[in-house]
Amino acid sequence: MSVYSGLNKPLEKDFEILIASFIENKVGISANFLKNDLAENLKINLLSLLEQKLMFAAGTGNAEKLAHNNSIRGDSIYWLDRKHDNKFENEFFDHIEDFIRYLNHSCYTGITGYEFHYSLYEIGSFYKKHLDQFQNNQSRQYSLISYLNNDWKEEDGGNLLIHQLNNNQEISPTQGKTVFFKSNELAHEVSITQQRRMSITGWLKKD
């Protein structure tokens, strides 16, 4: 990744909102980190992948200790990759790389890479309480989730529940909203969803 060279002011503002709320409460939240046009196009791409039967059941653990258990986790996923040469995936990656440059410049985090996948929860599915960092691999430093759900209502469920010692948080997965937190610190879960729930979920990594 290239050295930080400055951004336009709207991008800086969006990034600062995410970082400032993270510093204040260990959970960064920005309602507009992902712009609506991009969110819509990513959602269309996700649904096209689903129709092509390219979304697969997610597991727990990494490649060395991968297990599938739908009593723990019920979503299906598809990994994003620049090799797909998808216009909207690449636009998302460009946005993430801008954020990483800004984060490294302003907070000296030393992030060197990232990985992201689409995540789809069908009605009735969930993900039980867990941490995002593997016991046998500590490269994941920060978790970052961007939601792709229009007109999400309270009764739709599917909230992200983040567990802190004295301040648990419940976050609705509304479109464009992005959540950011340390991968090895905060246990979290996804409550049972009553509507199809979509996101891009991933991690900022350090070698």
The domain spanning residue 13 has which CATH number? Answer: 2.60.120.620
pLDDT average, residue stretch 29-52: 96
85 part of a folded domain: yes
- Yes or no: say if 126 and 188 are a contact pair by the CB < 8 Å rule: no
Provide mean pLDDT across the span 79-98. 97
Residue 108 lies in a domain: yes
2 within domain boundaries: no
Write down the pLDDT at residue 18.
Answer: 96
Q: CA 147 → CA 30, 45, 74, distances in Å?
A: 11, 14, 17
In this structure, are residues 176 and 34 in contact, taking their beta carbons and an 8 Å threshold?
Answer: yes
**Number of domains making up the chain:** 1
* Alpha-carbon gap, residue 105 to 99, rounded angstroms: 10
Q: Which residues constitute the domain of residue 134? A: 9-57+73-205
Lowest mean pLDDT among 50-54, 72-76, 133-137: 133-137
Q: Looking at the domain assignment, is residue 65 inside a domain?
A: no
Domain-located, residue 107: yes
For residue 1, is it within any domain?
Answer: no
Residue 31 lies in a domain: yes
pLDDT at res. 191: 97
Does any domain span residue 68? no
Angle between helices 87-107 and 36-51 (to 10 degrees): 130
Nearest-5° angle of CA 174, CA 189, CA 198?
A: 35
Could you tell me what percent of the chain has a pLDDT over 90? 77
- CA distance linking residue 131 with residue 129, whole number of Å: 7
